Amino acid sequence: MKGDDMTVEEMYNNEYEFEDDEDDDSDWDPSAVSDHNNVVEIPKWFCINCTWPNIGHDFHCDLCGEHRESGILQRGFLASSLHPAEQGLAQNGADVAVALQDPSLQSIGSDNRTAIGFDERMLLHEEVVQKSHPHPERSDRLRAIAASLAATGIFPGRCYPIPPREITREELLMVHSLENIEAVELTSQVFSSYFTSDTYANQNSARAARLAAGLCFDLAAAIFSGSVKNGFALVRPPGHHAGVKQAMGFCLHNNAAIAALAAQNAGAKKVLIIDWDVHHGNGTQEIFDKNKSVGTMGAEGYCVNVPWSRGGVGDNDYVFAFQQVVLPIVSEFDPDFTIISAGFDAARGDPLGRCDITPSGYAQMTQMCSDLSGGKLLVILEGGYNLRSISSSATAVIKVLLGENPRHSMEQVVIPTKSGLRTVLEVLEVQLNYWPSLKSKLSKLQSDWGLYALHDKKQVKKKKRRAKQLPIWWKLGRKRLLYRLWCKKLS
């Protein structure tokens, strides 16, 4: 798809085209909806689960089916999507209390445990200006995931809470310029500010960003030193769009780059970042770019993209690309620390990504990553805007970190779609120039799957439609990347 190298900012400045995929989705064109609004006064409400603007007296979201008064913020994805799920709350609370008092859990040291990075002050980062549409990067994202983890007894309960800490200016300077640090700091004195039209800050945002970065720094250090087994950073604002100087794309400081630096400080020589958010992690790329980098992050890096060319990508294509492209390259690179920039906006039901990855798909990919770098794995939350999807996906990922195996083993034969297979073959042909070990992989794939890939290679004619009236982030989701890898050798 065109525009793969555009940043969020460039996409914003360009008039971005909405391309329809296989299915006609004109029924969710909101222009028709706002026309009605001009005629009669009809109640309008925004879906708590997906932020979709709903018009009328129906109690269920047009886009995702969530009940208007859903209990998702109390019960996470375990709440019914159809009715407020007040019953069951008491029993669930009791489960969590029992888990916390379980002496077998209390006696376990932190060294064999999965650590979680979380602090409630990150919930205070919110857009204060009332816009026509609620911002998708909202504090309910963390609330919903936390509710799911509590309801399943994972956290609090089975995971070790990393003590929160704000990152220091000196630590930030190893990744960001003074320009970025001071611009973010300044927002704490202003009621409402914007770095770009879609990247807001309030008076609590700078602290939230420093907490997110500090948690990622300490998680990486704790995992690399072996004081915890692995970890999940349940943080916001997200980070992968934040570059050396510029906060953008909902991101203020680059949490993944800071975690890579922390691992380096703790002694890591080769750090791998896998970005499976559907949006291009332009900030991480810029920081890892030798020429623009600051501080100690200037060592040689390597970047691998697996671009995607259509919507609706599902588990099989994701897992297939992971097995055929990501794992062979990563094995040759042989990292000693692995970071996942885990956006869950490729999840089924995400309003921006519009892909089709299930929690089980995310669990399988995490399982494959957990064998890398001796299990030293840090998963950092990036995007993902459907509360139900992100909380079930994050919970599935953390279960794998805790040692629960996903139902499907990674040895299973995954059958990709034809376009999925073609993408993988194309990427392998390019990457062959850099990673010699891919040669045998490519010829095996060509002999196993070649005919399947070439068969039925017809061009589907695409309908195009302007959709200028949509908020910008609905358009950003049109640009898809399956994976982006940074293999970082540190001197």
Cis bond before residue 237 (omega within 30° of 0) = yes
Binding residue (CB under 5 A) for Zn ion from 11, 61, 96, 438:
61
Site for Zn ion in 213-272 (CB under 5 A): none
- Best CA proximity match to 46, nearest among 382, 128, 33, 74: 33
317 vs 345, beta carbon nearer Zn ion: 345
Name which of 144, 149, 151, 143 is nearest 94 in CA terms: 151
50 binds Zn ion (CB under 5 A): yes
Quote the CA–CA distance of 253 and 247 in Å, as a whole number: 7
The answer to whether residue 49 forms part of the interface with Zn ion (CB under 5 A) is: yes
Tokens 């109390």 — which residue?
74
Binding region for Zn ion (CB under 5 A) out of 56-64, 81-89, 306-314, 332-340: 56-64
Considering beta carbons, is residue 61 or 142 the nearer one to Zn ion?
61
Complete DSSP assignment for 248-313: BTTBSS-HHHHHHHHHHHTT-SEEEEEE-SSS--HHHHHHHSTTT--GGGGS-EEEEEEE--SS--
Which phi-psi region, left, alpha or beta, contains residue 395 (left: φ > 0; alpha: ψ -120 to 50)? alpha
**Active-site residue (options: 176, 241, 253, 279):** 241
User: Is residue 68 helix, strand or coil?
Assistant: coil
Q: Does 126 bind Zn ion (CB under 5 A)?
A: no
Stretch that binds Zn ion, among 138-146, 277-285, 311-319, 445-453 (CB under 5 A): 277-285
Q: Report the distance separating Cα 379 and Cα 390, nearest Å.
A: 14
The least CB distance from residue 47 to Zn ion, in Å, is 3
Segment lying near Zn ion (by CB under 5 A), choices 20-28, 40-48, 371-379, 431-439: 40-48
Q: For Zn ion, which residue of 6, 55, 63, 73 counts as binding (CB under 5 A)?
A: 63
Q: Is 361 in the site for Zn ion (CB under 5 A)?
A: no
* β-bridge partners, 200: 194
**Is 387 exposed, middle or buried, given 0-12, 13-18 or 19+ CB atoms closer than 10 A?**
buried
Shortest Å distance, C-beta 157 to Zn ion: 29
Helix (H) or strand (E) holding 18: strand 18-19
Shortest Å distance, C-beta 284 to Zn ion? 10
Q: Does 96 bind Zn ion (CB under 5 A)?
A: no
The one segment of 100-108, 279-287, 297-305, 371-379 that binds Zn ion by CB under 5 A:
279-287
At residue 146, φ and ψ (nearest 5 deg) are -60, -40
Evaluate whether 346 touches 383 at the Cβ level (below 8 Å).
no
Cβ-contact 274, 306 below 8 angstroms: no
- CB of residue 283 to Zn ion, shortest distance in Å: 9
Residue 195's SS3 state is strand
Q: Which is nearer to Zn ion, 158 or 484 (CB)?
A: 484
Write down the least CB distance from residue 275 to Zn ion, Å. 9
Q: Give the nearer residue to Zn ion in terms of CB position, either 237 or 328.
A: 237
Question: Checking DSSP bridges between strand 337-342 and strand 464-465, what pairing results, if any?
Answer: unpaired
Does residue 64 interact with Zn ion by CB under 5 A?
yes
Supply the minimum distance, in Å, between the C-beta of residue 142 and Zn ion.
16
136 near Zn ion, rule: CB under 5 A: no
Of 330 and 352, CB closest to Zn ion: 352
Q: Which is nearer to Zn ion, 125 or 279 (CB)?
A: 279
Quote the least distance from Cβ 63 to Zn ion, whole Å. Answer: 5
User: Does 67 qualify as catalytic in the annotation?
Assistant: no
Q: Does 66 bind Zn ion (CB under 5 A)?
A: yes
Phi then psi for 328, rounded to 5 degrees? -60, -40
* Site for Zn ion, residues 382 to 421, rule: CB under 5 A: 383
Window 147 to 206, contacts with Zn ion (CB under 5 A): none
**DSSP state, residue 154:** I
CB of 277 to Zn ion, least distance (A): 4
The answer to whether residue 9 forms part of the interface with Zn ion (CB under 5 A) is no
Residue 47 found at the interface with Zn ion (CB under 5 A): yes
286 makes contact with Zn ion (CB under 5 A): no
Residue 404's φ and ψ, nearest 5 degrees, are -85, 125
Binding of Zn ion at residue 277 (CB under 5 A)? yes
User: Which of 28-36, 57-65, 148-156, 263-271 is the region at the interface with Zn ion (rule: CB under 5 A)?
Assistant: 57-65
Which residues from 323-352 bind Zn ion, rule CB under 5 A? 343, 345
Write the binding mask 432 to 451 for Zn ion: x where contact by CB under 5 A, - elsewhere.
Answer: --------------------
Phi/psi of residue 194, nearest 5 degrees: -130, 130
- Those residues with Cβ within 8 angstroms of residue 331's Cβ, 6 or more apart along the chain or in another chain: 372, 437
Burial class (CB in 10 A: 0-12, 13-18, 19+), 281: buried
> Is residue 52 within the footprint of Zn ion (CB under 5 A)?
yes
DSSP state of 371: T
Of the residues 138, 279, 348, 376, which one makes contact with Zn ion according to CB under 5 A = 279
Q: Which is nearer to Zn ion, 410 or 472 (CB)?
A: 472
Is the Cβ of residue 118 or residue 385 nearer to Zn ion in the bound state?
385
Assigned token pair, 137: 């990067």
Residue 127 Cβ, how far from Zn ion at the closest point, in Å? 16
- CB-based contacts of 395: which residues, under 8 Å, 6+ apart? 76, 77, 145, 148, 149, 152, 154, 359
Q: Hey, which residues are catalytic here?
A: 241
The site for Zn ion (CB under 5 A) is made up of: 47, 49-50, 52, 61, 63-64, 66, 277, 279, 343, 345, 383
